Amino acid sequence: MVFLAVLALIAGVGVAIWRGTGPLPDPEQCSAVVGGRKVPLSSEQGRNAALIAAIGLQRRLPARAVSIALATAYQESKIQNLAHGDRDSIGIFQQRPSQGWGTVAQIRDEHYSINKFYAALEHIDGYETMRITEAAQKVQRSGFPEAYEDHAPDARALSSALTGYSPGGAFTCVVDEPEGSGRAQAVSKSLDEAFGTTAVDRTGAREDLLIPVANGKVGNRLGWAIAQYLVAFAGPLKIQEVSFDGRTWRTGRNSEKGWTGSNAIDSRVEVNLG
């Protein structure tokens, strides 16, 4: 009986693997690969990095600004929304309420803290041509002014991927299959908060989404930024599938493969909510 039970268990596992279902063998995680450089991230780091890039695009900032923000977030919090830090420092950028960055509740809001960082960066003349650590230091005024440069290579790779300058699915995540289906309204709200007002069309009985983008290089970069943002947030938004520009990403065991070839067109991002 024990032997038969073991055989049944093995067979069951085999079927689960064959169908692409079952638990993930590794923890949920994200990564970016640009120019041979691989940047590993936890799921939380992936979401925060994608949001930093999206808000940078919403503010019409160059990819350099996103690189500076990401390097700063790496150094200050490892791109995590921390509830504590040195003295009264909190959040992704370890901003301090006592230094005028906002209330504790405001700074713990990722959208608020990212916008506050960018607003301060925009007031620095010539930040685009400075070394990343110099620009970051002018915003943060840290006791370790050169520390941000240690994270510059990973920050540049992440920025290039998440802003769409490295197309083709340079950023991906391993995400377990969601329980239940996502809601179109939640996805639309998330995109609006990250990228600004975003045109979203609903299609089909399952409220799947189509997000149109313009033709040309600028539209393609935005399309990849949106598509990869949705992959980063696929877990909380319960997204099953994202497709754009000849590539498709799927949740569950399929997500271990990253982006795979498909017939997806380059004029819209397609989102399957299951």
Residue-level pLDDT at 145: 85
Query: Residues 150, 75: contact at Cβ < 8 Å?
Result: yes
> Distance between CA atoms of 222 and 59, rounded to whole angstroms?
13
What digits encode the pLDDT tens for the residues 117-130? Answer: 999 999 999 999 99
> Distance between CA atoms of 6 and 11, rounded to whole angstroms?
9
Cβ neighbours of residue 51 closer than 8 Å, sequence gap 6 or more? 110, 111, 114, 194, 229, 232
pTM summary value: 0.89
pLDDT-flagged residues of the chain (< 50): 1-20
What digits encode the pLDDT tens for the residues 15-38? Answer: 334 344 555 556 899 999 999 999
Residue-level pLDDT at 87: 76
Calculate the alpha carbon distances from 244 to 101, 129, 145 in Å.
38, 33, 40
Q: How many CB atoms lie within 10 A of CB 13?
A: 11
Query: Domain extents for the chain?
Result: 30-162, 175-272
* Kind plus residue range of the DSSP H or E element containing 231: helix 216-232
100 CA to centre of own chain: 28
**Tokens in use for 101?**
């960055």
Query: Residues 224, 214: contact at Cβ < 8 Å?
Result: no
Query: Residues 52, 41: contact at Cβ < 8 Å?
Result: no
Query: Residues 48, 80: contact at Cβ < 8 Å?
Result: yes
What digits encode the pLDDT tens for the residues 97-117? Answer: 988 899 999 999 999 999 999
Q: Which residues pair with 249 in a beta bridge?
A: 242
Query: Residues 211, 199: contact at Cβ < 8 Å?
Result: yes
> Distance between CA atoms of 231 and 47, rounded to whole angstroms?
9
Residue-level pLDDT at 11: 43
